[in-house]
Amino acid sequence: MKIKVLGAGGGEVTGSAYLVETDHARILVDCGIFQGGKQAVAMNRFDLKDVSNLDAVLVTHAHLDHTGRLPLLSKLGVPAPVFCTQATLELTSLILRDSAHVQEMDTNRVNRKRQRAGMRAIQPLVSHEDTEDIIGRLIAQPYDSQLPVAPGIKASFAEAGHMLGSSCIQLSIEDQGRMKKVIFSGDLGPKGAPILKDFEELHTADAVFMETTYGDRDHKPLDETVNEFISIVKTAVAARGKILIPTFAVGRAQLMISILASMFRARHVPPFPIFLDSPMAIDASKIYFNHKELYDEELLEFIKQKPLMEDLASLKMCPSAEDSIAINKVPGPMMVLAGAGMCNAGRILHHLKYNLWKPETHVIIVGYQGSGTLGRRLVDGAEKVRIFGEEIAVKATIHTLGGFSAHAGQKDLLDWFSHLAPAKPKLVLIHGEDIPRKTLGSMIMERFGTEAIYPSMNEEVSL
């Protein structure tokens, strides 16, 4: 049996995809897109020989860097079924449709330029048809049940605590008369994060493919971050200011809403208008609301005492552009949650343009800001920024809160592996830049005596 690294190897964090091959079966675990960097476009092509004759595809969770290349399988005519949890099925459908739409808009813009320059039009990486075809092939499976997915291979999904529906995938593989267990961690969440259950402890494995995104550091404790958030909101509300939060539509937006609900219930501040100004975040929130079986005990207890919507009576969903424009007329105190999370596109740009120059505005950055984005320039203290071609002075207060990560820090990664270490598995470290990957590897060696391997892209790991 061998496993080929088709993404998130060799110090790369995106593009997760692993081809598991036995004498009788071929399956793909995750099918993510490469993001960022000029090479991403080239890397997002599959070599047909890697994905032909697939028996099945398994998906750990809905994020694009784990699902974004799924429509390419349709494009290449690979007819395999795609298994995942029910919440992952729903969120993946939402995210893939949005991604196809964004790609189409981007391609149209590029093509208008190319046309004017007398150049040939280009095609988007994936089409709406490919996207709908693969969405039609998603099959939901319950957590913790063994499912035959290919000749001699059974799979089961265990909670990963990273986003709604996220899972670690455990494969039981019959290989030359012996059963072998291979675990893919997917992305692991931090312990104790709101809304979601913590990752499930797993105990047996012959091989473990483990993510290492934050293998070299720990996040600031969440309760410290929440307290900081509360005190910013209190200050802004007292000054009748507007609070703008650029936020990712899936996961982060729902986390912020749950924190606001508990703030209001605890009477830290009286309720004030909150606008969820993102059609995608609204759809994702509905999926979150519908999956109470995935909530942790704290949230279940919280909603048992009183429905969440009673705390959130001042929350207004803004699906249409008109709803969004109307927000400009609302006086402070108020809060807007809008995408894109890094301020590089989306409705947040309009709100920033109208409010960044006002000293009573507060911008709270709650997620990672990639270099070159408007969000990063704000975090770095720019005094002026350009939005829609206009120069805007930054008089608002910019706050950066680093403790809301959806990823396990070093301590929690070590905790997750500690339950598997006694089984002495072959450990394959993936999904991390070189320093986090190597740092975690040496800590695991020191603590558990397990030597890790660090595959490069397209390397085959034999078991």
Given the rule CB under 5 A, which residues bind Zn ion? 63, 187
Q: Which is nearer to Zn ion, 65 or 311 (CB)?
A: 65
Q: Which is nearer to Zn ion, 33 or 421 (CB)?
A: 33
Q: How far is the CB of 408 from Zn ion (least distance, A)?
A: 11
C-alpha distances (whole Å) from 79 to each of 6, 133, 177, 190, 257 are: 19, 10, 29, 35, 39
Q: How far is the CB of 431 from Zn ion (least distance, A)?
A: 9
Q: Which is nearer to Zn ion, 40 or 463 (CB)?
A: 40
Q: Which is nearer to Zn ion, 406 or 420 (CB)?
A: 406
Q: In the sheet where 153-159 sits, what is the strand order?
A: 147-150, 153-159, 167-175, 178-184, 207-211, 426-430, 452-453
Q: How far is the CB of 392 from Zn ion (least distance, A)?
A: 32
Q: Which is nearer to Zn ion, 187 or 198 (CB)?
A: 187
Q: How far is the CB of 187 from Zn ion (least distance, A)?
A: 4
Q: Find, among 4, 8, 95, the residue nearest to 51 by Cα.
A: 4
Q: Which is nearer to Zn ion, 166 or 225 (CB)?
A: 166
Q: How far is the CB of 112 from Zn ion (least distance, A)?
A: 33
HSE-CB for 91 with a 13 A CA cutoff: 28
Q: Which is nearer to Zn ion, 74 or 166 (CB)?
A: 166
Q: How far is the CB of 406 from Zn ion (least distance, A)?
A: 7
Q: How far is the CB of 245 from Zn ion (least distance, A)?
A: 20
| Amino acid at site 71 | P
Give, in degrees to the nearest 5, the angle at Cα 25 between 20 and 26.
Answer: 40
Q: How far is the CB of 64 from Zn ion (least distance, A)?
A: 9
Q: How far is the CB of 200 from Zn ion (least distance, A)?
A: 17
Q: Which is nearer to Zn ion, 33 or 335 (CB)?
A: 33
Q: Which is nearer to Zn ion, 368 or 448 (CB)?
A: 368
Say which residues have a Cβ less than 8 Å from residue 232's Cβ, sequence separation at least 6: 243, 362, 364, 399
